[in-house]
Structure 1
Amino acid sequence: MNTAKYQIVCAAILGFGQLCIMAGFDAESFILESVIHSIHERNPSLISQYAGYYGQAICYAGYMITCLFSSSLIIMTNAKTVLFTSAVCFAMFPIGFFFTNQYYFFVSSAITGIGFSLFYQGQGSYMASHSTRNTIEFNDSVSWSIGCFCLIVGSCIIGTITTFTAAEIPVQDVLMNSTLAKVERRYSDTEITLLFGMFALFSILGSIFFAFLPSEDVDGCIESGTMHGTPFDEFKATCATLIEPQMLKLFPLFALCGANISFFLSILPTAFQFNMNNSGMIYLPAIYSFGVGIGEISSIFFGLLPSEDVEGCIESGTKRGTPFDEFKATCATLIEPQMLKLFPLFALCGANMSFFLSILPTSLQFNMNNTEMVYLLAIYSFGIGIGEILTGFFISAMSKKIKDFALQPTLSIAVVCLCTYCGLVLASTPYDAPMRPTHEQPLLFQQSQLFILILAVIIGIVDNCINTVRGVICTLSMPSRRTQAHAISKLIQAATSCALFFLSPLLNIYYYTIGLPILSLITVFLFFPVSRRTQRMERKITTENLSKASARV
C-alpha cells in the first residue's frame, strides 16, 4: 500500500473509532436531562431536577482541567494507553443508572470529562503522526466525516428500545382531563435501564479493543509516539501556547465548538422532550440521536489503526522529553499571543457544540407545539449526520483543488451557516423552551418535520466546518507545540461548554441565538490574521528549504 492510501486508511479507521467512542456520549447527552427529570418526578429525593445539566457542566469542567495535563500524560505513556483510559472513563458513567445515586452521578460525570480530554489528545497525536502538510486537511475531513455517522447509527438502537418499552411511555397526564393534559417525554425505569445498559456494554467493549491498538510509529512521521521531557515542561509549553497571538485568534472557533456541542447535545434535546406538544412523539429521542446506540463498539477500529508514521508527515508520533517538560510546554503555550488570539475559536467550538448537541434538542422537545412530531429527534439527528457527512466530502474535495481551503474559506462558510441556523431557531422556538416545558408561541412560525430536517443539515455543516478549521489551525499554526495547541483548544472548548451548562437553566433562547453569531464574528476577526501569518510562515519555510536544496546541488 502506497503512502497516500495508507494515510487515508489510517484516517478512516480513526474516524470509525471516533464514531464508536463518541456515540454513547452523544446519545446520553441527547436524553440525559429528560431522563433525570423523569427520575426526579418519580422520586424527588433521589436526584436533583437539574442534575442532567449540572452533571454535564461538571463533565466539561473535568474536561477543561484535564486539557492542561493531557499532553503531559502523552509524555508519560503513549496514545494507545491514553485512548484505552478514555474508554474506561466513558464506561463508568452509564453504569451509574443501574443504581441511581446523586454522588456517583456527579463523580462519574467528572470522570467522563477526563475521558473526553484524553480521547481528543490521543486522536490529535495520532492524526499528526499519520499526515503530511499536503494531506492534513483531507485526512482530517475524512476522519471527522466518518465519526459523524454516530448521529445516524445510534437512533436505530434508541428506536428499538423505545419500541420494546412503548407501552410504558406516558403521553398524557392521567390526573388531568383538560386539553393541556399532555406531558413532556418521560422515561420508564425499564427504558432507562435498557438504554444505559447498552451504552455501558459498548463502552466496555470499546476499552477491550483499545487494549489491542498497535503502537509502532510510521517512518518520517510528523511527531513520534515516544515523547521525551517532563510533565512540568509540557505544562509550561501548554500555558505558553495559551497566550500565543495565533492561538488567541482561534479562541472564538474553539468556544463555538464548546457552545454548539452543549446546545445540540443536551439542551436542545431536553427542550424537545420537555415540550408538552411532543408528548406523543415517543420515538423523538431515537430520531434525534440516529447513529448513537452502537457507537461504543466502533472502538474496534481504533484497535485496527496502524501505528507507523507516514513518510514526510507533519509531526512524528515519537515524542521526546518528559511528562513534566510537556506540562510546562502546555502552560507556556497557554499564554502565547498566537494562542490567545485563537481562544474565541475554541470557545466557539464549545458553545456551538453545547447548543446544538444538547440545548437545542432539549428546546425542541420542551416545545409543546411539537407534541405530535414523534420522529422529531430522529429527524434532527439524521439531518445533522447528513450535513456533517456531505460537508466532510465537500471540504475534502475542495482542499485538493484550493490550497488552505480548510482555513479562511471553511470558517466563512461556518459563520454564514451558523448565523442562518441561529436566526431560524430564534424565529421558530419559544423563548423559554431551553429551560422548561412550554406552551408559549414562537416569534414568527411553528416548526415542522421538514423545517427541523433542513435546520439540522445546516447545523451539521457548521459543526463539521468549525471542527475542521480548529483541527487544521492547531496543527499548522504552532509547529513546535502542536500537541499543546490541541490540548489548549479542547481546554477552552470544555470551559465554554462547562460554563454554558451551568448557566443553561437560567438562559432563554435569545442568549444562544444572539450570542453565538456575535462570538462567530469575533472569531473571524481574530482568526484571519492568524491564518495569514501561518501561510506566510509556511511559504518562508518552503523557500528556505528550496534554497538549502539548491545550495547542496
Structure 2
Amino acid sequence: LLGIGTLFLYLGYFTQCFISESVIHSVHSKDPERISGFAGYYGQAFHYSAFAISSLFSAGLQHYFSSKWILFISTVLFAVYHLGFFHINSYYFYFSQVMMGFAYSLYNNGEGAYIAEHSSRRTVESNSGIETAAIYGMFFGVTLLAMLTFAFLPTKQYDSIASNSPRIIPSFKTQIKELAKTFVHPNMLLLFFTFLYMGILVSFFLGIYPTTLSFTASLVQDTYIVAFYSGAVGLAELSGGVFVRPMIKKLNKKRKLLVVMLVHVVVVISGTILFLLSVPERSTIEPNDGSSLLLKPNRYIACAIGYLIGMGDFTLTMARVIICQVAVPQNRNEVFSLTRIYQCISSCVVLFLSTYMTVTCWSTVLLTGMVIGVTTFLIVARNTSSETNKVSPVKNFFISKLNRKETSKEELAKTFVHPNMLLLFFTFLYMGILVSFFLGIYPTTLSFTASLVQDTYIVAFYSGAVGLAELSGGVFVRPMIKKLNKKRKLLVVMLVHVVVVISGTILFLLSVPERSTIEPNDGISLLLKPNRYIACAIGYLIGMGDFTLTMARVIICQVAVPQNRNEVFSLTRIYQCISSCVVLFLSTYMTVTCWSTVLLTGMVIGVTTFLIVARNTSSETNKVS
C-alpha cells in the first residue's frame, strides 16, 4: 500500500516537474506581467529551501501524528500546489511551492518511519525495493487517490526496527502548552527580533543581491559573476569554520558570544556599505542602466560583498545554535521551531515587499535590523549566563538527570557529525544535482531547442522512457542484484549507476546545443542531431540512474546511523535540497558543458563516499556480538 500510495502521489509530482518550466515560460511569453519566465527554476528553489528548513523540525511531528497521517497531510499540501495551475498566479505559485517543500519533508519522514515500523533488519531491503518498484514502475494514479490510500494505511507495528527502539511520546496537548510557554518566555520575546533580522539577512544574500547582479546593465555580459559571488559566500562559510570558530573557542566562555556578534556586526556593516556604494539604486527592483553612488560594480566587489555577508551568516548561524540551547533549556525543541518560524515570517514579508525596496531601503532595513537583533541577542546571552551561575546544587542534580534524555535536536546534531553522515553529505549533494537535472533541466532543453519545437510529444516520450527505466529496474535489475552476495549488492548497484549516468551524460553533451539549458536558441549540437530517440535514450539511462541511487539511498539510510534513522533521513534530504536549490539558482548561467562537468564530478565524489560508508557499515555489522 505504501508503494501504491507513493506511486499515485509521484505521478502528479514528477509529471508537473517535467513540464512546469516550459508551461510557465509559455505563460510569460504571452503575459510577461503575470509571472517570471524563469519562475519554474526559482519556484523549485523556493520549494527546496522550504524543504531544507522544514526538514529540521518535521521529524518531531512523529511525536504528534502516526506515520500514515503524516503521509496523508503531505499529500493534501501537494494537491494545494497542483490547484495553482488552473490559473497561474505568481504569488500563489511561489506560496504553494513553499507548501510543497514542507509537504515533501513530511512525506520523507513519514515514508522512512512507516518502512521502519513495518520492517525488520532482515526485510528492510526487500520492503524498500517493493516500494520503489511500485512507485516508479507503473507511474499510474493521481494525488487525490494518494490522499485516500494513505488515510487507510494500517497502523499495527510488528517486530519492526522502530518498535524495538524506546520512544517517549508526549501528548499533543502537552506539547502545545510547552510551545505556548516558550513563546511568551522573556528570552524568546527578545529573540523574536534577532530571528526576524536573520530572515532578512538570509533573504538578502540568497535572493536580493544576486538579483542585482543580473539587473545591473554593466554586469550583464559577465555571465559568471553570480558563480563567483556564490563561491565567495561558500569560502566565507568555510573559512569561518576552519579559522574563526577555533579562535573563538579559545576565549573565555562569557566572551564567546560577545566576540561572535562583534565579528558579525563588523562584516555586515562593511558588506552593506559596499552594497550601498556599488549598486545602482533600482537594481534590486528592475533591470536598469543607472549609475552607482560611488564605486563601479564589478566582479571583485561582488566577491567582497559575498565574502562579508557569508561571514555574517556564518557568525549569526553559529550564535543561533548556541543561544537556542540555553535560551529556554527545558524546551529546546520548541525554541528551534519558533526561531525558524520567526525567520520564515520575516523572509516572507521582505520577499513580498522586495519589488518596492531600493538599494537605500535595503541598506537601511539591514542595518536597523542588525542593531535591534544583535542588541536583543546580547541581552538574552547575558540573562542566560547569569541564570546559569545562579543554579543551585539541587537544581543542577535534577537538570543533569533530565538532560540525559537527549532532545531530537541533539540527536540531529549527533547524527550530523557522525563520520558516516559526513561522508554521505557528498553523496546526497550529488543526488540533488541529478534530480534537478532529470526533472527540470533536460526536459527544459527539449522545449528550448529550435529543431524540437514542433515535436509536441517529445517530453511525454522522455517521461515515458524514465518511467520504463524505473519499471525495468524494479522488475529485472533488482531481482538479479538480490541474488548476489550481501557484501557485493551495494557495489553492483553503484556500478550500474555509474555506467548509466556516464552514458546518459555523454549523450546529453553530444546531442544538446550549448545554450539550450538557458534560453530558446537554434544552435547546433556538438555531434548528434537532437531527436525523439535520443531524448528517450537519455530518459531511460538517467531514469535507471535515479532508480539505482534511490534504491541504494533507502538501504544506506537504515544502516548508516541505525540508532538515529529519522535524523539520517532528514539530513540526507537537507543535503539533497541544498544542492538542488543552489544549482537551480545557478541554472540560468549553466550551459550544457557546465552541467555535464557538474554531473560527472558530483557522481565520482558521491559514489566514492557512498561506497566508503557501505564498507564501514558492513564491517560494523560483522563485528556485532
Structure-2-length-normalised TM-score: 0.60
1:409 counterpart residue number: 492
Tell me: higher relative CO, structure 1 or 2? Use CA pairs within 8 A at least 6 residues apart: 1
| C-alpha contact 2:21 2:440 (8 A) present in aligned 1 | no
User: In angstroms, what is the RMSD of aligned CA positions?
Assistant: 2.3
The 3 A distance-change label for structure 1 pair 227 and 92 is farther
The one-letter amino acid of 1:414's match is H
Partner-residue secondary structure (3-state), 1:341 = helix
1:198 counterpart residue number: none
| C-alpha contact 1:75 1:227 (8 A) present in aligned 2 | no
How far, CA to CA, are the matches of 1:431 and 1:90 in structure 2?
34
Deviation (angstroms), 1:418: 1.0
The one-letter amino acid of 1:526's match is T
2:317 counterpart residue number: none
1:381 counterpart residue number: 463
Equivalent residue for 2:600, pick from 514, 517, 522: 517
Equivalent residue for 2:34, pick from 41, 46, 61: 46
Q: Which moved more, 1:133-142 or 1:455-464?
A: 133-142
The one-letter amino acid of 1:212's match is F
Question: Are 1:139 and 2:127 matched, yes or no?
Answer: yes
Alignment of 1:328-407 (within 5 A): 328-393=410-475, 394-407=477-490
Equivalent residue for 2:155, pick from 192, 196, 215: 215
1:70 counterpart residue number: 58
1:435 counterpart residue number: 518
Q: Which moved more, 1:406-415 or 1:463-472?
A: 406-415
The one-letter amino acid of 1:361's match is P
| C-alpha contact 2:507 2:538 (8 A) present in aligned 1 | yes
The 3 A distance-change label for structure 1 pair 77 and 436 is same
| C-alpha contact 1:57 1:498 (8 A) present in aligned 2 | yes
Partner-residue secondary structure (3-state), 1:447 = coil
How far, CA to CA, are the matches of 1:496 and 1:112 in structure 2?
17
Q: Which moved more, 1:83-92 or 1:369-378?
A: 369-378
Aligned residues: 392
The 3 A distance-change label for structure 1 pair 491 and 396 is farther
Deviation (angstroms), 1:404: 4.0
Equivalent residue for 1:116, pick from 93, 98, 104: 104
Structure-1-length-normalised TM-score: 0.67
| Greater share of helix | 2
The 3 A distance-change label for structure 1 pair 69 and 404 is farther
The one-letter amino acid of 1:373's match is D
Equivalent residue for 1:91, pick from 60, 71, 79: 79
How far, CA to CA, are the matches of 1:44 and 1:322 in structure 2?
58
| C-alpha contact 1:399 1:405 (8 A) present in aligned 2 | no
| C-alpha contact 2:137 2:472 (8 A) present in aligned 1 | no
| C-alpha contact 1:415 1:517 (8 A) present in aligned 2 | no
**C-alpha distance after superposition, 1:366-412 (max 9, x if no partner):** 11122343431222111111111212231233223321444222112
Deviation (angstroms), 1:205: 4.5
| C-alpha contact 1:138 1:395 (8 A) present in aligned 2 | no
| C-alpha contact 1:90 1:203 (8 A) present in aligned 2 | yes
**Unaligned 5+ runs, structure 1:** 1-12, 155-201, 232-320, 545-553
Deviation (angstroms), 1:361: 0.8
Alignment of 1:166-315 (within 5 A): 202-218=142-158, 220-224=159-163, 227-228=167-168
**C-alpha distance after superposition, 1:185-228 (max 9, x if no partner):** xxxxxxxxxxxxxxxxx43453344333322212x111139942
How far, CA to CA, are the matches of 1:477 and 1:52 in structure 2?
34
The 3 A distance-change label for structure 1 pair 322 and 392 is farther
How far, CA to CA, are the matches of 1:395 and 1:207 in structure 2?
28
Q: Which moved more, 1:118-127 or 1:520-529?
A: 520-529
Deviation (angstroms), 1:132: 2.8
| C-alpha contact 1:62 1:110 (8 A) present in aligned 2 | yes
**C-alpha distance after superposition, 1:272-328 (max 9, x if no partner):** xxxxxxxxxxxxxxxxxxxxxxxxxxxxxxxxxxxxxxxxxxxxxxxxx99982233
The 3 A distance-change label for structure 1 pair 324 and 501 is farther
| C-alpha contact 2:54 2:105 (8 A) present in aligned 1 | yes
Question: Are 1:34 and 2:22 matched, yes or no?
Answer: yes
Q: Give aligned-pair identity as a percent.
A: 32
Partner-residue secondary structure (3-state), 2:156 = coil
